[in-house]
Amino acid sequence: MTSHEIRKAFLDFFKSKEHLIVPSAPLVAKNDPTLMFNNSGMAQFKDFFLGNGTPPSKRIADTQKCLRVSGKHNDLEDVGFDTYHHTMFEMLGNWSFGDYFKKEALEWSWELLTEVYKLPKDRIYVSVFGGDEKDGVPFDQEAYDIWKTMVSEDRIILGNKKDNFWEMGDTGPCGPCSEIHIDLRDQAEVDILGGKELVNNDHPQVVEIWNNVFMQFERKADKSLVPLPAKHVDTGMGFERLCMAIQGKKSNYDTDVFQNTIQVIEQMSGKKYGENGTLSSNSYVDVAMRVIADHLRAVAFTIADGQLPSNAKAGYVIRRILRRAVRYGYSYLGFNEPFMSKLVPVLADQFADVFPELKAQQDFVTRVVEEEEKSFLRTLETGIRRFEALNPENGIISGDVVFELSDTFGFPVDLTALLAKEKGLKIDEEGFQKALLEQKTRSRQDSAKEATDWVELNEGSDFEFVGYDEVSAEAQIIKYRKV
């Protein structure tokens, strides 16, 4: 099955179970002060679970664009080095708002995986919440008994609070989860080593694909748990991981979700992906191609959803991600001209029928990315030279130098940390924060230079570049004007 067919099969399946199919919410979380980016399928439905508002249907399913680069869920540092965590990914989900509960949810997930997708039953593990006496939350006997009718008991795992209990916050709705994991190793290895203990252990081929959350309690301020009057189901399945499992690949990047982009990167760089096998994390050519294929999606879809790169908040997160990708391309693939922007149309075409917002704004997004790249490429080379010349005696790059790299050359602190790691060095993060604070104090006294540096886009590509405000490399402000 192609990734398009896999996504469609998911939505068709839940449609046949009377779910309303809704579009993905934008990546930028608009009405939630606790969240910068949507990082799960349920984020757009949070209010319904809290009892504020009524859902358009008691059963909903969709594919949600998610970004896990900040806050509670931050997978940025894993990207490129492992094969199954992305910054931006699609989370397929189905929801019951006070309608069906554990039996239907678990039976349908089993039916979909084993009958529609035909994943082998003897490669699937499921987990249920094993209980936590100290916290007063019971073992999820109900889920265990449902699984027992479908899965042999030696494939059911009792999980802990970290993996198998979900809470919205310190108070509010919460409940046990039941996860589904798949073992994609070669049969010979499975025969020799077994696999149960590899679940939830960061094994690249024994991966979690689906999480079923059962909201059945409310956590009160005094920490007690009371049953919710209406019980809900919230599920999330990693689309790219599912494609890896169904397409029989060992890495998400080997699926058709990413291969398109990777092939274009190969052509552009004249370098080959996966020369030493597609799982190698010590080949920086491979890491760079994975990072670029991943970060391109995060950057392009976020811009299409209205968040421009900037120097603050969500905009700076996007700028940082883009700069990481540009530097990987520069250092390992020989790109010293904009290249990310050339990949935007490839991505836009691939997702035209799923997330048409990118295709609709393709030219605009391409220009934004290109301007960002040009701006960073102006200082990248000299910045890298400055970095390469460093040879700190204690192996720690001082806060002042980290600040200089940021202020003069536009190297976000996480990028400098990454460069340092590649050389076996560390950075003085605290010293950097101190230097940053001192600069902020200085510039507050100089507020004449202040300008707002991002706008929200509501009307597609009605914006054009009008140039830069040169303050310093890091503070380069790209200006847009409504045309």
**Chain positions contacting ligand ATP, by CB under 6 A:** 40, 68, 75, 85-86, 89, 91, 208-211, 236-238, 240-241
Rounded to whole angstroms, how far apart are CA atoms 353 and 81? 30
Choose from Mg ion, ligand ATP, none: what does 130 bind? Cβ within 5-8 Å by kind: none
Residue 87 binds Mg ion (CB under 5 A)? no
Other Cβ atoms less than 10 A from the Cβ of 292: the count is: 26
- Closest Cα to residue 288, out of 339, 326, 319, 345? 326
Cα–Cα separations (whole angstroms), residue 172 to 86, 233, 355 = 29, 15, 33
Estimate the crossing angle of helix 284-304 against helix 340-350, to 10 degrees: 70
Rounded to whole angstroms, how far apart are CA atoms 428 and 424? 14
Comparison of 239 and 364: residue with beta carbon closer to ligand ATP: 239
Partners of 178 in the β-ladder? 212
Choose from ligand ATP, Mg ion, none: what does 427 bind? Cβ within 5-8 Å by kind: none
State the DSSP code for 119.
-
Min dist CB 78 to ligand ATP, Å, is: 7
Segment interacting with Mg ion (CB under 5 A) among 127-135, 210-218, 354-362, 386-394:
210-218
Residue 109 binds Mg ion (CB under 5 A)? no
Q: Which residues contact 8 (CB under 8 A, 6 or more apart)?
A: none
Comparison of 208 and 294: residue with beta carbon closer to Mg ion: 208
Terminal CA-to-CA distance of the chain, rounded, Å?
44
Comparison of 156 and 237: residue with beta carbon closer to ligand ATP: 237
Comparison of 211 and 476: residue with beta carbon closer to Mg ion: 211
Min dist CB 44 to Mg ion, Å, is: 19
Comparison of 155 and 241: residue with beta carbon closer to ligand ATP: 241
Residue with CB nearest ligand ATP? Answer: 238
Min dist CB 151 to ligand ATP, Å, is: 17
Choose from Mg ion, ligand ATP, none: what does 373 bind? Cβ within 5-8 Å by kind: none
Choose from ligand ATP, Mg ion, none: what does 240 bind? Cβ within 5-8 Å by kind: ligand ATP
Sole residue written with tokens 């968040």: 307
Min dist CB 303 to ligand ATP, Å, is: 20
Choose from Mg ion, ligand ATP, none: what does 102 bind? Cβ within 5-8 Å by kind: none
Min dist CB 37 to ligand ATP, Å, is: 12
Comparison of 208 and 372: residue with beta carbon closer to Mg ion: 208
Choose from ligand ATP, Mg ion, none: what does 91 bind? Cβ within 5-8 Å by kind: ligand ATP
Rounded to whole angstroms, how far apart are CA atoms 324 and 275? 23
Min dist CB 328 to Mg ion, Å, is: 22
Number of residues that bind Mg ion (CB under 5 A): 2
Here the tokens at position 459 are 């009307």
DSSP string, 149-190: TTS-GGGEEEE-HHHHEEESSSSEEEEEEEEEEEE-S-HHHH
Comparison of 131 and 238: residue with beta carbon closer to ligand ATP: 238
Rounded to whole angstroms, how far apart are CA atoms 118 and 112? 8
Choose from ligand ATP, Mg ion, none: what does 241 bind? Cβ within 5-8 Å by kind: ligand ATP
Here the tokens at position 217 are 């309690």
Q: What are phi and psi of 99, to 5 degrees?
A: -115, -115
Min dist CB 433 to Mg ion, Å, is: 26
Residue type (1 letter), 251: S
Residue 211 binds Mg ion (CB under 5 A)? yes
Sole residue written with tokens 């799923």: 354
Here the tokens at position 194 are 């077994």
Comparison of 210 and 258: residue with beta carbon closer to Mg ion: 210
Q: Are 177 and 211 in contact (CB under 8 A)?
A: yes
Choose from ligand ATP, Mg ion, none: what does 210 bind? Cβ within 5-8 Å by kind: ligand ATP
- Cα torsion 161, 28, 202, 190 to 10°: value is 100
Comparison of 180 and 457: residue with beta carbon closer to Mg ion: 180
Burial 135-155 (b: 16+ CB within 10 A, else e): eebeebebbbebbeebbeeeb
| Residues 149-208, interacting with Mg ion (CB under 5 A) | 208
How many residues are given for the chain? 483
Choose from ligand ATP, Mg ion, none: what does 86 bind? Cβ within 5-8 Å by kind: ligand ATP
Comparison of 129 and 210: residue with beta carbon closer to ligand ATP: 210
Min dist CB 66 to ligand ATP, Å, is: 7
Q: Are 243 and 9 in contact (CB under 8 A)?
A: no
The secondary element (H helix, E strand) that includes residue 421 is helix 413-422
Choose from Mg ion, ligand ATP, none: what does 325 bind? Cβ within 5-8 Å by kind: none
Min dist CB 183 to ligand ATP, Å, is: 14
Comparison of 89 and 301: residue with beta carbon closer to ligand ATP: 89
Segment interacting with Mg ion (CB under 5 A) among 40-48, 90-98, 209-217, 357-365:
209-217
Residue type (1 letter), 328: Y
Residues that bind Mg ion (CB under 5 A): 208, 211
